[in-house]
Amino acid sequence: MTFNWPIRVYYEDTDSGGVVYYANYLKYMERARTEYLRQLGFEQDALIKSHNVLFAVRHVQLDYHKPARFNERLEVRSSVTECKKASLLFDQQVYRVDDDALLCAGQVKIACFTGRFL
């Protein structure tokens, strides 16, 4: 299953040339993962309170293909490609909506921590 999350590039996301700063793609992907989990019924703050469970990024691998610019509409496409006892692996891509150009692609491994690690 692929989850799609829309993003609009704001001025604060860009450098002086109007190009999205590279680290902001990570923020876009984080928002998409959070909304994906929410859609599946997992509210992260509720998991901490009720089950003492926390998700944290363990590893990230990104490839940048093309720049995004101020005011463009983007879409983050996310899918879970691996689900283990204590981790999830997400494949995520950021596309520009107007021409469906791939801007950034990556894999993000999320670790699940419980009780003694919190």
Q: Active site includes 45? A: no
CB count in 10 Å sphere of residue 17: 8
Residue with tokens 């190009």: 19
Structure tokens at 28: 């876009």
> Which distant-in-sequence residues (6+ apart) come within 8 Å of 105 by Cβ?
62, 63, 65, 91, 92, 93, 94
> Which distant-in-sequence residues (6+ apart) come within 8 Å of 115 by Cβ?
52
Choosing from 13, 15, 98, 100, the catalytic residue is 15
Residue 104 β-bridge partners: 64, 94
Active site positions, annotated: 15
